[in-house]
Amino acid sequence: MSGAANPTPPLAPPLAALLELTHRCPLQCPYCSNPIELERAKGELSTDEWRRVLDEAAELGVLQVHFSGGEPTVRRDLPELVAHARRIGLYSNLITSGVTLDRARLAVLAQAGLDHAQLSIQDVDHQTAAHIANHPGVQGKKLAFARWVREIGLPLTINAVVNRHNVTRVERMIDLAVELGAVRVEVAHVQYYGWALRNRAALMPTLEQVQEATQRVEAARARLRGQIVIDYVVPDYYARQPKSCMGGWGRQFLNITPSGEVLPCHAAQTIPGLVFDSVRHKPLAEIWASSAAFEAYRGTDWMPEPCRSCDQREVDWGGCRCQALAITGSAAAADPACALSPAHQEMRSLAEAASAAPAPDFVYRRMTPQETPAKVAAATR
């Protein structure tokens, strides 16, 4: 693959911002996208600080904000933040585990101007769901939450995270989303960063399981056309082409941690040497335009071969930096999901070996780190 370099286009504003209001969460999913070292409540931005961040995001040109976590509903000021987003014209989405709110508190959020709710599920099987979340009775609470969302009149997306424990039930998870009245279901194979990387062997399905799941998703798409939108996030370890992670580093998206650090993606803190600016010290627009962490892998100038001369470099933007780091030890390498990466076969072999062995116990997501990030990186490489 080859192609001539294009002039760099002017920097557009981010389309969306993921606001991690807190890392506190009642669930302990072993594939959580939060970092291994979770932030404590005492370091979280205050209500006033989050309001200012929303103002700055709107001024910058952000269109959508995703209130996320941890579990964002453990912040008692969430209705105020939702109302503020509505006042300044931001579309707001709540990304939730669905186990903390009752119907009345959900109604308050809807009244404050919430536009959309996104509910994650661990499985259709109640016992496996409780095991994955390490939370007895989790499925019953989620089903009740989904009902309330629809009764109150909010649009609902179901996010089903696929791993070796539930991969045979993808079709039933899609059918559940239809039953719950969701407008969209995202069937997403686990992405192996942070906690999921630590739990890779416990989560990785076999190639045959993945192929069967993919066929079942395709069949469901044909069967349910016009009833529900089905998004499918493929498993990188069995892919031949990388995904355009985040739509390209620093191109469409930013992520703000509970204490206000601004990241190009949720796993960016795993990359050694990157320094992240905080909304506590700099305006969001300045961070977006010129922060060292955003500049590090923005565009194509940083790319080594094979990406540098590849005609896909402005399509997938070299894939995922965090995955390149996790497998090759270098965040600047081509994503090993790409068949042109020298580490492509190594990544496939890691997946095959992990999925062929019996699944080890989960290392559940907890506030107290069980291992340091450096030890985790060494253990999972």
Q: Containing H/E element for 142? A: helix 138-152
User: Quick one: 213 or 338, whose CB is closer to ligand SF4?
Assistant: 338
Closest CA relative to residue 192, chosen from 238, 250, 230: 238
Measured CA to CA in angstroms, residue 298 lies from 234, 252, 318, 323 at distances of 24, 11, 11, 16
Q: Give which of ligand FES, ligand SF4, none residue 265 binds (C-beta under 5 to 8 Å, depending on kind).
A: ligand FES
- Report the partner that residue 236 touches, choosing among ligand FES, ligand SF4, none (CB closer than 5 to 8 A by kind): none
The stretch among 49-57, 108-116, 154-162, 320-328 that binds ligand FES (CB under 6 A) is: 320-328
Nearest to 121 by CA among 75, 195, 197, 188: 188
Size of the site for ligand FES (CB under 6 A): 10
Contact characters 304-343, ligand SF4, x per CB under 6 A:
--xx--x-xx--x-xx--------------xx--x-x---
Instruction: Compute the CA torsion angle 70, 73, 79, 84 (nearest 10 deg).
Output: 10
CA distances from 304 to 36, 311, 324, 333, 341 (A): 29, 14, 12, 7, 11
Among 27, 320, 350, 376, binds ligand FES (CB under 6 A): 320
Q: Which is nearer to ligand SF4, 28 or 252 (CB)?
A: 252
Minimum separation from the CB atom of position 267 to ligand FES (A):
4
Work out the widest C-alpha separation in the chain, in whole angstroms: 58
Q: Does 327 bind ligand FES (CB under 6 A)?
A: no
CA angle 40, 44, 47 (to 5 degrees): 150
Q: Which does 318 bind (CB under 5 to 8 A by kind): ligand FES, ligand SF4, none?
A: ligand SF4
Is the omega angle on the peptide bond into residue 235 within 30 degrees of 0, that is, cis?
Answer: no
Residue 368, CA distances (Å) to 39, 70, 117, 268, 363 in order: 10, 14, 29, 20, 12
Q: What is the C-alpha separation between 323 and 45, in angstroms, rounded?
A: 29
Site for ligand SF4 contains 270 (CB under 6 A):
no
In whole angstroms, the minimum distance from the beta carbon of 271 to ligand SF4 comes to 17
What residues from 120 to 139 belong to the interface with ligand FES (CB under 6 A)? none
Q: How far is CA 354 from CA 192, 275, 337, 349, in A?
A: 13, 33, 16, 8
* Closest distance to ligand FES from the beta carbon of 266 (Å): 6
Question: Smallest distance, Å, CB 211 to ligand SF4?
Answer: 22
- Where along the sequence are the contacts to ligand SF4 (CB under 6 A)? 1, 242, 306-307, 310, 312-313, 316, 318-319, 334-335, 338, 340
- Where along the sequence are the contacts to ligand FES (CB under 6 A)? 193, 245-246, 249, 265, 267-268, 320-322
